[in-house]
Amino acid sequence: MTDTPNPIAAGLGTFERWLSLWVALAIGAGLLLGNLFPAAFSTLAALEIASVNLPVAVLIWAMVYPMMVGVDFGALRQVGDKPKGLVVTLVVNWLIKPFTMAALGVLFFNHVFAGLIPPDDAQTYLAGVILLGAAPCTAMVFVWSNLTRGDATYTLVQVSVNDVIMVFAFAPIVAFLLGVTDIVVPWDTLLLSVGLYVLLPLLAGYLTRQNLVAKGGEAAVDAFKSRVQPFSIFGLLVTVVLLFGFQGEVIFESPLVIALIAVPLLIQSYGIFFLAYGAARAWRIPFNVAAPCAMIGTSNFFELAVAVAISLFGLGSGAALATVVGVLVEVPVMLSLVAFANRTQHWFPKDRGAA
């Protein structure tokens, strides 16, 4: 295997490369501001309609919309070109991942950590990790695919297929798993969240993309995404500040809670990756398809999970806190897996066409 330049610098911009650091700083800022200005955060929390907090809704849209512009549904015509990789992706994402995340959440929050977390808090943390587990990655997988020199067309196809499935499957899966764990879910709020944070951004992204392609082709799409990407990162960081501002008192009283929430998330992330990666190796899927098909299930659409957690359980809820912890752990985990995949690409055959 020949030496290749470090792909991280080429695949990640400054903000993406140091996303974990920015999230950690945003957490610190939120904790500090929440304790210094509790009245201001209470006022922001009160700005809601139909269980949707308006400031956070704007921030979530700022995160999600640029990603949706990048989804090319024309790629769905190529859905059969790499069938093996797509089968692994869909089975892991929709038939395994949500249920293993729920099982790990029940194991740790209801049993292993039972003496460390109050039962009511444990249920809300459980709800948050379930929301993460039911939302496979939509946008960051393009970064992880690029870092492993994955097949760009295949990555686009899998993201497009996952977005279509998410529109129909996310709400039923979440409602089922929350019901199994005895957490009451208001269906109207859940469906509103899916419509607000998946359907509408998807439609807006599609219309924007069509308009840009008509004017300047894919180059215009790429230029637009570059312009709006800073708003996506800004939306994420300000959302984290708000969430931890509302959680400040709880976290200062129980700082261990962040580490406890991270434990099942870390086990889930590494477990799902090695399950999909191992299946791809056993099926002799080429590396440029195997790597992104393992990455998409490992990474989460945390923007959606954060938004739905806030809508269902509130800004100051343990569910919202758990989804933000998912943001904190995701980037270092994914970068470690990118490094592992690049070191083990010789395990896989070279791309010889359909896989």
Give the tens place of pLDDT for each residue, 220-273.
888 887 788 777 777 778 877 887 787 666 677 767 888 999 999 999 999 999
Which residues of the chain register pLDDT less than 50?
1-10
CA dist 355 and 351 (Å) reads 8
Residue 354: phi, psi to the nearest 5? -65, 140
Q: What is the pLDDT of residues 269-279, one digit of tens each?
A: 999 999 999 99
Q: What is the pLDDT of residue 111?
A: 94
Residue 53: phi, psi to the nearest 5? -75, 120
And the tokens for 221? 């799409």
For residue 328, give the nearest of 244, 225, 229 by alpha carbon: 244
CA dist 4 and 19 (Å) reads 24
10 Å CB burial of residue 197 (0-12, 13-18, 19+) is buried
Within a 10 A sphere around the Cβ of 337, how many other Cβ atoms?
A: 23
CA dist 254 and 240 (Å) reads 18
Within a 10 A sphere around the Cβ of 86, how many other Cβ atoms?
A: 20
Domains annotated for the chain, with CATH where assigned, are 21-344 (1.20.1530.20)
The tokens 């709006």 sit on which residue?
A: 228
Residue 48: phi, psi to the nearest 5? -140, 155
Taken as a whole, the chain contains a residue count of 355
